Amino acid sequence: MSDASSGSSEAGPDHEHEHHEHEGPGYATPQAAIEEGDRENLAYVMSLYVGTDVDASDFVAVVDLDPDSETYCEIVDRIEMPEKGDELHHFGWNACSSSCHMEGLERRHLIVPGQRSSRIHVIDTKDRRNPELVEVIEPEEVFEHDLSAPHTVHCVPDGEIMISMLGDADGELPGGFLQLNDDFEIEGRWDPPGEIEMNYDYWYQPRQNVMVSSEWAAPKTYYPGFDLDDVEAGNYGRKLHFWDWEAGTVEQTIDLGEEGLIPLEVRFLHTPESTHGFVGAALSSNVFHFWEDDGEYRAEKVIDFESREHPDWDMPVPALPTDILISMDDRYLFGSNWLHGDIWMYDVSDPSNPRRADSLSIGGTFGEIQEVQGRELAAGPQMIQLSLDGERLYWTTSLFSSWDDQFYPEEAERGSVMLKADVDPRNGTLELDEEFLVDWGELPEGPARAHEIRWPDGDCTSDVWQ
């Protein structure tokens, strides 16, 4: 059984976090997030013009998700970046449930990096429907710490912010981690230089004093697009790194081998006592389960998506599971197969033996449904986000501008969409909501791409518990 379902605790004897007084942002426990969280009525969505013919700045879209609203399914506001070409990609909050013991902190500011520019923006969401850009950290300030290409943003328990960085100042390896203070000033590197070569996503479990990070490649490798020669040359990652969270040093590295090529999104279970988690290996089309056993972390492939033949391809088409997330109750693992066009959910009550619950075949290279409300889908499901109660799953369709142009060039001409499925957690089923469509192809400046999604009150890919 999972730690979540068994209620087992691996915490130390002095652990009292479950009973601490809730004073700061977020929720005291994952179960409190499920029970106390409101329905998501707004979404913030990373939106970009990089790689299109539109000469405009990237922006954060505010999407109305209130079914009772007159502007339901519409982009009701856009926070435009001051410069062009940032490639907005992933973003996060200044504070989340990991800081719920910190009196005075608010989950109010979005930290919005540019993947290509290394420029870091700070957006104040005090007015949720009309946020405003309030701070910009210029790339030169980032390069001073020999880092570039910011990716995953997590708040850390004491109100600071940590960002995984995929390259050095020249876009080569090694990457590392950049730390901001609660005034949004760069404090410096979180890690000693040289602890890792490649970097990508990360997640931490403070109660277990562990952080796990994954690998993509050097920015100069993936910026131009995907090249099979880079795979042959070993330029893509296949390792997981387990860190001492307090010391900021790598304690163990697991090489996932050929079946673990490009381990991208990495998630611990939400239960803070747990040491179980999952990572999707995009290029190998697998999902690995990792867990701690007698002081050592182990990893094992538990889900395998087979490649499929297609007449327009010279090789079997890999599924490319580019995003995964875990429901707040730790029961289901959701994911997207960008090339195959699948949205899937597995029951991970026993994380060593995931059981396929359901899937949707939509968009992508093989999707059975290729249009919604008459809108043709130009790409497969990509970034996903789940409601706190686990009953609504949303997704967008852009991966990375140069990779979009390579595999789905029509995405630049038609723009991305945001779609939704209704989830029945009791029976483990997905059903496409055919009434829901947000279209980035109808914007005044021209079609835009859409990537990561966040809710104002926290979500399944940004909240961590102490």
Per-residue pLDDT tens over the stretch 24-79 = 889 999 999 999 999 999 999 999 999 999 999 999 999 999 999 999 999 999 99
For residue 53, the tally of other CB atoms under 10 A from its CB is: 9
The mean pLDDT of the chain is: 94
DSSP string, 9-57: --S-TT--GGGS---SSS-SSHHHHHHHPPP--EEEEEEE-TTSS----
Please list, residue by residue across 16-25, b when 16 or more beta carbons sit within 10 angstroms of its beta carbon and e when fewer do: ebeeeeeebb
Rounded to the nearest 5 percent, the helix, strand and coil shares of the chain are: 10, 35, 50
Angstrom distance (rounded) from CA 431 to CA 424: 8
* Chain position carrying tokens 């277990």: 208
Angstrom distance (rounded) from CA 115 to CA 149: 5
End-to-end CA distance of the chain: 22
Residue 17: its pLDDT value, please?
A: 45
Residue 8: its pLDDT value, please?
A: 37
Residue 20: its pLDDT value, please?
A: 56
Query: What are 312-360's pLDDT values in tens digits?
Result: 999 999 999 999 999 999 999 999 999 999 999 999 999 999 999 999 9
For residue 216, the tally of other CB atoms under 10 A from its CB is: 23
Regions of the chain short of the pLDDT cut 70: 1-21
Angstrom distance (rounded) from CA 69 to CA 22: 32
Angstrom distance (rounded) from CA 267 to CA 253: 16
Three-class SS of residue 332? strand
Residue 100: its pLDDT value, please?
A: 86
For residue 55, the tally of other CB atoms under 10 A from its CB is: 9
CA-to-CA separations, 431 to 324, 343, 391, 438, in angstroms, rounded = 18, 11, 10, 17
89 torsion bin: left (phi>0), alpha (psi -120 to 50), beta (else): alpha
